[in-house]
Structure 1
Amino acid sequence: MRRRQKNEEKKGSPEWMTIYSDMVTLLLCFFILLFSFSEIDVQKFQAIMKSFEGSLGIWEGGKTIEQAPNINADNLPENMSTSDIQEQEDFKKLQNQIETYAEENNLDAKIVADIEERGLVIRILDNVFFDPGRAEIKPRAKEVLLYIGDMLKLEEVKDKHIKIEGHTDSDPILYTNLFESNWELSGMRASSVLRFLVDKKGIESDRISFAGYAYYRPVAPNDTAENKAKNRRVDILILKSSYSKWEPN
């Protein structure tokens, strides 16, 4: 009989292929396990993919990624950048904090937080802050402003500009002779809030401004006592980064 050569090759795949395939399978199981514990922010993922669109010459033939709505966002536009989405989420977080604070202090009917085009608006009815026809901040209002001042110094908004806006109703001033018109009253009230935030909470003076609009920017028609009460307010506005600090609106 002819002796089998020692160097005769074995049939089938090399032994290293078996070890390699086992390792790849284990890695796949590991990543599947990590994925099962993770949460996907659809809007952020889409924003990342959007940045590649057109730059690499792909996605033109059709969409390979299913566009699903983000259940954690309030109808955010699809073209928002990652920083815009993060800013919106930060505003939403602060809005929830303000609403919780107002509810816990029985002020939910007098303090409202809303996210608008310019940014986050903290709207406070004037009777929380001031007596009729006056611009001196009431003692209880100072507690509210101290809380809001702490929020304005949070990491999420510490680089945002703050605008204080005073508003009145259309009635002429009857309770005092200190102010010639609602223009002076609304401006002085906004100035009082600004000075308190700067003096008592150390808000940087270069990131805060004020304006008085009298009754020319109502949130409701000045036709009933209830609507007029809504218009007598001070708005503390945290501007979006896309708005200039000297934005007149």
Structure 2
Amino acid sequence: MARKRPKEQGKKGSPEWMTTYGDMVTLLLCFFVLLFSFSEIDAKKFEAMIRSFQGSIGVLENGNTIEVSEYISEALDDDLTTDQQQELEDFRELKEKLEAFLTENNLEGDVLVTLEVRGLVLRFQDNVLFDSGSAELKSTSREILTYLSTFLVEPDLISKYVRIEGHTDTDPLRPSSRYETNWELSVARAANVVRYLIEEVGLEPKRFSASGYGEYHPIAPNDTAENKAKNRRVDIVILKSELAISLPQESMMED
């Protein structure tokens, strides 16, 4: 009796189409490797970018939001529109003029001019504009503010919004002070600067706003007398145009 031949078993292994698919994926991988090899990565720019992201979540010392870096500035400049680049150039020219004025009048240690993401910032230590615990402008500070106001009416800046910010350290006020907390003091100082620029100098009121932050936006730890002096300050911020959209618009005020 003849033995039955076993049924022929099917072929084992992957389907034939997998070979073609695998070749295609390998070729794509080689293509992207070649693209990567042709590109150039600037290690310094990459490191600066990483530090910027760290700062944006408060990782950097003193809670800085972005670390100053020429590489970051160059990258941001490249992404600006023509109008934004012109505005930035106007701010840079104004910064140089202000620094020259401060140097001529021996004020460079009391007033700091910086160009930040929000705009051009003039930072006054509190002893420049006010006496300790007071919100009344000193006579010498009025002269400084009057001169600085001449820059605010230049053609390139006449339409810019300006925000005055008051800040204090963590020390409580003296019982004899007319202000109960640092909140009231910081608000009063900012408001009095705004009032002087509007009522005495004659600048356009709708361009200005006043903010008081008390002790809660320090630029240095409140652990030494020197650092506390840095935190007691008034900032005059000439805002960039794109930040003005957060302010009340003229059409809204007319309604």
TM-score, shorter chain, exceeding 0.5: yes
In the TM superposition, 1:54-203 aligns within 5 A as 75=74, 76-174=76-174, 176-203=176-203
Identity of aligned residues (%): 47
Which residue of the partner structure matches residue 211 of structure 1? 211
User: What's the secondary structure of 1:107's corresponding residue?
Assistant: coil
Structure 1 stretch 231-240 or stretch 91-100: which is displaced more?
Answer: 91-100
Which residue of the partner structure matches residue 19 of structure 2? none
Give the TM-score normalised by the residue count of structure 1. Answer: 0.68
Structure 1 stretch 168-177 or stretch 129-138: which is displaced more?
Answer: 168-177
Shift of 1:201: 1.7
Partners of 1:185 and 1:174 lie apart in 2 by: 12
Q: Where does the alignment leave 5 or more consecutive residues of structure 2 unmatched?
A: 1-69, 249-255
In the comparison of the two structures, how many residue pairs are matched?
Answer: 176
Query: In angstroms, what is the RMSD of aligned CA positions?
Result: 1.7
Partners of 1:245 and 1:183 lie apart in 2 by: 26
**Deviations 1:187-225, CA, capped at 9 Å, x for gaps:** 000011000000122111111000000011111111111
In the TM superposition, 1:31-42 aligns within 5 A as none
User: What's the secondary structure of 1:238's corresponding residue?
Assistant: strand
Shift of 1:245: 5.7
Which residue of the partner structure matches residue 24 of structure 1? none
Q: Which amino acid aligns with 2:114?
A: D
User: What's the secondary structure of 2:106's corresponding residue?
Assistant: coil
Q: Which amino acid aligns with 2:87?
A: E
User: What's the secondary structure of 1:142's corresponding residue?
Assistant: helix
In the TM superposition, 1:214-229 aligns within 5 A as 214-229=214-229
Partners of 2:231 and 2:99 lie apart in 1 by: 20
Partners of 2:247 and 2:112 lie apart in 1 by: 23
Give the TM-score normalised by the residue count of structure 2. Answer: 0.66
User: What's the secondary structure of 2:241's corresponding residue?
Assistant: coil
Of Structure 1 and Structure 2, which has the larger fraction of its residues in helix? 2
